[in-house]
Structures are given as C-alpha cells and as structure tokens.
C-alpha cells in the first residue's frame, strides 16, 4: 500500500509506525503466499497456550536465527500431525515449517507465524540421523562388545534401570515375584523419555557396571510413540550399554521398530514383561538341567552299584566253588599218583610172581656178572624168602 514518505537528502525519513508498515509490505511482497523455512529448534518452552521458539542454522560457522510464533489453534493441529508420526516438538529437532513472516511493531520483532509443518521432512531427518549413528557404531564394532559378556549360569542378581512409575516395570516385577525364584533386584529410578532420559540412563548403567554383585542389567520401559522412545536412539546410551561390565537385556516396548539401544544390548526383547520372562527362563533352564543331571547321576550310580553287586556275587561264588573244585582236582591227582606208586611197589610186583635176589651184602643182583660160584644169595618172594648158593651160572 503506497504511503506518503518524506525524504531528507534523498533518503527516506519515516516514523516507527511507517517503518513497521514498510517492512511488512516488503515481507508480503517477497513472500507472497507464505514461506517454508527449515532449521533446528532451540529455546522451546512448554506451551502456555502459545509456543515460541527459534529456528537456528549454522552458516559458515556463524549462527543464523529466525523467531517462531506458533499460536494455540495452529499448535494443536501441528501436534496432532506430529503424534501421527510418533514425533513431538523439542529442542534439537530439525523441522520444515510453513508460516507468514511478520514484523510485530509493539516489540520491534521479526517473526514467522507458523501455520503448518512438513512432518515427512522431520521423519526423514530423524531417520537419517539415526541411520548415520547406527552405521557408525556398527562399523566400529561397538554392537558386539556387550554381546561378548557371558551370562551367569543362574542370573538371580538383577540390576534394573527403569521408571518406578512405568506400567511396564510393574508388569515385569510381578513376573519376577510370581516366578517363585529368589531374585535380588537393585532398582535405579530414571526418566525414560524426554531430554533428561539419556543422561539419567547413562548414569544408572555406569553405576551398575561398577558393581560386582550384579549378574544381568535389565533396561526397561513400556510402549510409546517414536518420540517417547527416541531417547533410546541416543549415542550416549548406546556407548554406556556397550561398555557395561554386565550383560544388558533390553525390554523397551517396541513392537515394530528396533532402537539403537536394542542393537547394542546383549539381548533385546520387545517388552519389559518379555525381558523378565527371559531371565526367568534362564533360571528354569538351569534347574531343568540340574534335575536332568541329578536323574542321570542317580541312574549311573544305580547301574554302577548293580554292576558292583554282580561282581561281588560272582566273586563270592568263585570263592565258594573254586577252592572246592581245586581240592577235588588235587584229590584226583593224588589218587592217580597213589595208584602209580602202588603199581611201582615191589610187593605188588612180586605178588604177580616176581622176586628180588640180593647177595650177602644186600645188593640187588641184576646180572650173573655180580656173583661167583659159592656166593650165598637171598631171594625175596611175595611170601617169605629162599637162601641159595651159586653153583654155576649161564
């Protein structure tokens, strides 16, 4: 709209009101139909009921800033669109906003009155940052570190990192109690969403990592939107998990997506309840294996004892029968030898008609060469003896 402007030495001379009007006319002319502007949110505070913050960008090492006004009506519509994508406005989030540039004369402030948001731009930017971080961690092998931590045979000493107000933890706690096993739980209460969540979770993980009385660390929170769960895509939490001295099990309420924390963990589960059930299953498996080993030991012991009893019985039988058999065999041998001796007895031989002749000196005469004419000989018979004198020999 044209206006009367005075000039001094060819330079426009205007009042503050005129200056404001000229600026708005120029903005309207330059951005006819509004403008889409991209940047990172900074200085966002809780709506009351409007929302004011800045969009910033680093340009050649220098900060560029635009003031954003988001009034209640448009704010509700934009928050609805963001929730459908699992997002929320917060510091550090890159957004593409549509609005009308406006120079507000009472404050002398240039702002953009926002009316809409390109949620796909933000979704893409969040996903791109997440993928870049995940790729970097995978390339460094960070995701393998906690997976190398051995899980104790009976993990009964649990370190739990969660919110005491979270329904997910209440469900998991009930599972642990109803299992009947003697779990010892060291609980650290933390924020599980929002800007305060990453530093609190990291501090809790570091605290449990330093303790020697922990078997497994459980990192839990119930379900939520992508924005609610965004904290678990934080690099600080990822590194704290990878460096933890104990195996870290996650139960972060995801049904579809997998957080970077899940990738870094020793074992990831979809819900806190599933996480608790996994630990319970480990104890059940141990007890089952123990019972099986006990049965096997009982069977082996029983079989060994039975074999030992059989060997003892056989030995007793051998001790009972072998000497008797050996004695019988020796008796038979003795009888055979006695019979042989009896056969060799001269009396037996002589009974069959044989005799033994001795000279006067008692020597057995076996040859005529042993005697001479006139020698006296004594012949022993089976019954009695005969004395004779040698009168000739042939």
Structural domain boundaries in the chain: 31-130, 141-284, 347-389
Q: Which CATH number fits domain 141-284: 3.40.50.2300, 1.10.10.10, 3.40.50.150, 3.40.30.10?
A: 3.40.50.2300
How far apart (Å, rounded) are the C-alpha atoms in residues 92 and 238?
19
Q: Indicate the average pLDDT of the chain.
A: 87
Stronger pLDDT, 359 or 267, i.e. the higher one: 267
pTM of the model: 0.61
> Does residue 81 register a pLDDT over 80?
yes
> What is the C-alpha to C-alpha distance for residues 66 and 374, in angstroms, rounded to an integer?
170
The pLDDT of residue 43 is: 92
Structure tokens belonging to residue 195: 């800007």
pLDDT, mean of residues 38-49: 89
In angstroms, how far is CA 80 from the centroid of its own chain?
A: 41
Question: Helix 72-84 and helix 119-139: axis angle, to 10°?
Answer: 40
- At residue 218, the pLDDT reads 97
Superfamily per CATH, domain 31-130:
Nucleic acid-binding proteins (2.40.50.140)
Residue 263 three-state SS: helix
- Order across the sheet with 157-162: list the strands: 184-189, 157-162, 216-220, 248-251, 267-269
Name the DSSP class of 374: T
**Gyration radius from the chain CA atoms:** 56
Structure tokens at 392: 């000739």
Tell me the average pLDDT across 300-328. 78
CB atoms within 10 A of CB 225: 15
Q: Where are the beta strands (DSSP E) in the chain?
A: 6-8, 11-13, 35-42, 51-59, 62-70, 94-104, 109-117, 157-162, 184-189, 216-220, 248-251, 267-269, 356-358, 376-380, 385-389
Which of the two residues, 127 and 159, has the higher pLDDT score? 159
Percent of the chain clearing pLDDT 90 (strictly above): 42
Model confidence at 145: pLDDT above 70:
yes
CA separation for the pair 155, 152 (Å, rounded): 5
Q: What is the mean pLDDT of residues 373-387?
A: 84
For residue 154, what pLDDT is reported? 93
**Where does the pLDDT of residue 2 fall: very low under 50, low under 70, confident under 90, or very high at 90 and above?**
low
**pLDDT tier, 390 (very low <50, low <70, confident <90, very high otherwise):** confident
> Residue 369 gets which letter from DSSP?
G
pLDDT of residue 1: 47
Tell me what the mean pLDDT of segment 262-287 comes to.
Answer: 93
Measured between alpha carbons, how far is 374 from 238 in angstroms, rounded to an integer?
137
Q: What is the pLDDT, as a whole number, of residue 319?
A: 76
pLDDT in tens, 210-262: 999 999 999 998 876 677 778 899 999 999 999 999 999 999 876 666 889 99
Task: Pick the range with the lowest mean pLDDT from 75-89, 231-245, 284-298.
Answer: 284-298
Per-residue pLDDT at 203 exceeds 50: yes
For the chain, percent of residues with pLDDT exceeding 70:
94
The more confident residue out of 349 and 12 is: 12
- Whether the bond into 388 is cis, omega within 30 of 0: no
Q: Are 38 and 94 in contact (CB under 8 A)?
A: yes
């Amino acid at each position: 709209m044209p206006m009367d402007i005075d000039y001094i030495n060819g330079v426009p001379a205007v009042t503050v009101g005129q200056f404001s009007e000229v600026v708005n006319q120029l903005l309207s002319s330059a951005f006819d139909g509004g403008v889409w502007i991209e940047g990172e949110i900074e200085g966002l505070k809780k709506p009351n009921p409007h929302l004011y913050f800045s969009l910033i960008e680093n340009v050649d090492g220098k900060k560029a800033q635009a003031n954003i006004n988001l009034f209640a009506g448009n704010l509700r519509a934009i928050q609805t669109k963001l929730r459908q994508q699992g997002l929320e406005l917060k510091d550090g989030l890159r957004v593409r906003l549509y609005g009308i540039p406006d120079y507000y004369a009472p404050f002398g402030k240039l702002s953009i009155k926002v009316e809409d948001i390109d949620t796909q731009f933000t979704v893409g930017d969040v996903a791109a940052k997440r993928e870049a971080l995940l790729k970097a961690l995978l390339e460094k092998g960070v995701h393998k570190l906690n997976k190398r931590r051995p899980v104790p045979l009976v993990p009964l000493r649990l370190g739990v990192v969660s919110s005491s107000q979270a329904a997910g933890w209440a469900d998991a706690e009930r599972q642990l109690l109803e299992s009947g096993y003697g779990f010892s739980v060291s609980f650290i209460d933390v924020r599980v969403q929002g800007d305060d969540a990453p530093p609190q979770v990291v501090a809790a993980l570091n605290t449990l990592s330093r303790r020697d009385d922990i078997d497994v660390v459980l990192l839990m929170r119930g379900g939520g939107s992508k924005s609610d769960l965004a904290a678990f895509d934080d690099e600080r939490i990822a590194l704290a998990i990878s460096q933890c001295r104990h195996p870290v099990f996650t139960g972060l309420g995801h049904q579809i997506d997998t957080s970077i924390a899940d990738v870094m963990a020793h074992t990831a589960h979809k819900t806190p309840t599933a996480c608790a059930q996994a630990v319970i299953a480990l104890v059940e498996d141990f007890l089952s294996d123990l019972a099986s080993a006990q049965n096997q030991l009982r069977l082996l012991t029983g079989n060994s004892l039975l074999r030992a009893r059989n060997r003892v019985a056989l030995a007793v039988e051998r001790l009972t029968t072998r000497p008797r058999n050996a004695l019988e065999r020796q008796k038979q041998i003795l009888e055979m030898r006695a019979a042989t001796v009896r056969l060799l007895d001269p009396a037996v031989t002589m009974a069959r008609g044989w005799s033994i002749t001795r000279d006067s000196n008692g020597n057995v005469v076996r040859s005529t060469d042993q005697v001479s004419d006139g020698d006296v000989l004594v012949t022993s018979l089976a019954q009695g003896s005969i004395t004779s004198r040698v009168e000739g020999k042939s």
